[in-house]
A and B are shown apart, each in its own frame.
Chain A
Amino acid sequence: MNRMVTLGWLFIGLWVPLVWAQAADTDQLEKNIGQLEQRLADFTAQREQYVRQADELARQISELKAKSNLNYFQRSRLENQLSRSQELTNKIETLDPAIGALKNEVREKRKSLIAQYDLIIKNILAQLKAEKLPKTQKTALVKTLTSTKEKREILQTQIEISLLELLRTNTIVLEANDSPRQIKAKADWLRDYEKRLRTRAIQMDRIINNLKEEIEIREKMVEFEQELSLFDHRDESISEGASQSDNGQVRSKDVLEGGAPDWANNAYLQNSESSKSSILPLFQDFTIEKDVLNMSNLDIQAYIKGLESRKQQVELTADSLRIKADAFEAKARQAEQIERRE
């Protein structure tokens, strides 16, 4: 019995420093991650500020460029804005790799931390299984186990979110240490997004067809009324010219609100600078249910054109996601076979 107690104390004596050492490593990693996250947040905020400034400048530049004859002051303002815009682009381009590197570092550190947590959990479980411990000690270990598990869950979620971000920025890649399960999960995400994009493309197609039909009906009705007024003796006092009835032809809300409408702006529809190489704007950025009643036919046509180009973009992205998902699945199967053989 004494021997057993001695061995027990010896085990605890060896385990406690080990856990303590692990805890010290874990603390250090947590601290590091905290610092990296802070830097990342600062960099991202800085980038967002630059992007906002660049967007505002781009708007001012396009306004000036739209004017046919610029006077001296407008020309020098344009030159000044172009050079400021270039500076901002350079700054953004410098920040992007730094942000990317920081994100990678944070992800790697989080993975290491998860590995640490896994080790701690494993040790605690082994300890709880192997030894009959005093109640207080057992309670303390269970408490540590629960909090470690919680921390691990949070960390795992953060990694998943960062993976989702990667997916959104279209840069999801396989990493050397990815397990078959992780590769499969990435393939599933890609499939899920592909499916959502396909649904979106179908929706857009339906809206495009409906709008085309609406515009055709509207135009032909206007033509019909004009024709009747001309040939079939409609009273001029209630006809188009004298009555100021515009049949939706000139009810252009965007003229009321000022400036060219955003949906008529090709640059906006193609992709803004801030959303370059991102899948996310395919889901956001535009509302497909526009108020077409108050739009002139020209605006509706520009809007349809924009939607068509957007739909094409969505379909292309969905195709590339499908190809990528297929490749990932093949890779996952291959990795599984290798794992089984080992």
Chain B
Amino acid sequence: MLLRNISQSYQCLLIVVIIIHLSVSGAAGSHWHFRNRFQAGLEWDDNFQERQTGTETAIGGRLLVQSRGEKRGNGYLFSYHYTGAFQGYAPHLREDKLINEGKMRFDFHLFKGISGGIEGWGRHKNFIYEPIDYYLISSTASLRALIGWNLTVRVSLQPQQLNYAVNDYYDYTGLETGIALTKNFSRKLSLELGWRHLCLEFNRTAQQGVQPFPERHFFSFAQNQADKIQKYSLQFLYAGQWFCSLSYLYEYNQSNSSGFSYRNHWLIASLSKKISASLLLRFYAMLQQKNYTEPFYTNVPLELDTEKIDSNFFIVDLSRTLTGGAAVFMRYAWYKNESLYRSIYYQKNLLTTGLEYRF
């Protein structure tokens, strides 16, 4: 509870700081740099309900509006992005949703070689015909320092919170601390080594199965479920005439509630390359190896929204720039994700095409 109050106060403070900053910077008449994007597309989904069996195909529509802005001042950089999206499958109204996401970030110089940053991020997912709306918010305070030999160290503190509108069972409040060390080998190549520690406190009591019938008899602790997640990451990044990133992430969750502890290995790769003056190829892939470290006896879903869980996928996107900021794109995606129930996976293929306009 205390953590939740701290998190909420901190986020309110962040919003106040950002509003003050915006009004002050507006008065100073400094320049903003904006980029906006509108996207409309059609999507063919061979398993839109994310089922293991009895899959159904549907064609859906999607709309996206995005606005990003940056402003540089003397010793600071302010940036924001907002994305609003709609996704719907006409005959299957329960899948229709509105998503709003916003981020504001303020980086500022502190001393020579040291900068600070504060960031607020939030996503609200509104299922129009289903009572599983939720919001996920986080705010980050970070310090970054150049320590010589082209090495940068970044430490961060990030409270975060998940809140479902109608069900408190899955809600949590978390606090993540992190440190990352980045080495720039050349102008374009860098390597980042990171460690993060996330403490999640759920809004439900921790449970433990009672022997000899743990699947039927549960003992509920007086305290809430608390997960302690350690994340270790290694990322190569190349940003030149082509953009390439390769990351490995190891995640270890130790929960005080029976059946929630796991070990997770991720391999994430992304690539972007211009094939010709107007053709751009983008690729994104992720592989996951998730092992639960203890048996799970209950049949309670891990989450309410299937789309919050992602495991294995690869996505290929080809876009062609047309005249006047317009572009057309075609995207194929394959997913093999963990379902709402642990260790049970569903599979789906997605084919998306659409038009984009940047202004």
Contacts and interface: CB of A to CB of B under 8 A. Distances in A.
Interface in A286-342: 289-294, 296-299, 301-302
Contacts of A217: 239, 241-243, 272-274, 280
A264 B310 contact: no
Interface in A229-245: 230-236, 238, 240-242, 244
Interface stretch (B136-144, B205-213, B217-225): B136-144
10 contacts: A214-B239, A217-B242, A230-B83, A230-B101, A232-B333, A250-B77, A256-B113, A256-B115, A257-B146, A296-B70
Contact of B268 (A226, A238, A256, A293): A238
A297 B239 CA distance: 12
Contacts of B315: 228, 232
Interface of A: 63, 66, 68, 210, 213-214, 216-221, 223-228, 230-236, 238, 240-242, 244, 248-253, 255-260, 264, 289-294, 296-299, 301-302
A78 B178 CA distance: 44
Interface in B290-323: 306-311, 313, 315, 317, 319
B184 A224 contact: no
Contacts of A235: 308-311
A3 B173 CA distance: 123
A83 B148 CA distance: 41
A208 B77 CA distance: 23
Interface string B245-262: 000010000000000000
Determine the main DSSP class of B at the interface with A.
strand
A236 B123 contact: yes
A258 B109 CA distance: 5
B310 A234 contact: yes
B171 interface: no
B239 A250 contact: no
B216 interface: no
Given A244-B178, A258-B75, A297 B184 contact: no
A235 B103 CA distance: 17
B35 A218 contact: no
Query: For chain A, what secondary structure do more than half of its interface residues adopt (helix, strand, loop), or is it mixed?
Result: helix
Contacts of B156: 244
Contacts of A221: 243, 270, 272, 282
Contacts of B214: none
Contacts of A210: 241
A289 B309 CA distance: 42
B119 to A, nearest CB: 8
Nearest to A249: B79
B7 interface: no
Nearest to A292: B187
Nearest to A246: B105
A224 B316 CA distance: 11
Interface string B172-192: 000010100010100111100
A257 B76 CA distance: 11
Nearest to B110: A258
Nearest to A63: B74
Contacts of A234: 286, 310
A249 B78 CA distance: 11
Nearest to B176: A242
A312 B242 CA distance: 28
B258 to A, nearest CB: 21
Nearest to A233: B307
B108 A255 contact: yes
B144 A256 contact: yes
Given A220-B272, A228-B315, A242 B308 contact: no
A250 B337 contact: no
Contacts of A250: 77, 79, 105, 107, 117
B183 to A, nearest CB: 12
B27 interface: yes
A301 B33 contact: yes
A255 B121 contact: no
A279 B241 CA distance: 32
A242 B138 contact: yes
Interface string B28-54: 100001010101000000000000000
A302 B337 CA distance: 42
Contacts of A251: 152, 182
B10 interface: no
A206 to B, nearest CB: 12
B77 A255 contact: yes
Contacts of A255: 75-77, 107-109, 115
A240 B249 CA distance: 15
A66 to B, nearest CB: 5
Nearest to B70: A298
A22 B311 CA distance: 96
A249 B80 CA distance: 11
Contact of B37 (A223, A256, A302): A223
A224 B282 contact: yes
A305 B273 CA distance: 24
Nearest to B145: A256
Given A63-B74, A238-B249, A296-B77, 4 more contacts: A233-B307, A256-B115, A289-B187, A301-B33
B160 interface: yes
A226 B67 CA distance: 12
B265 interface: no
B150 to A, nearest CB: 9
A74 to B, nearest CB: 14
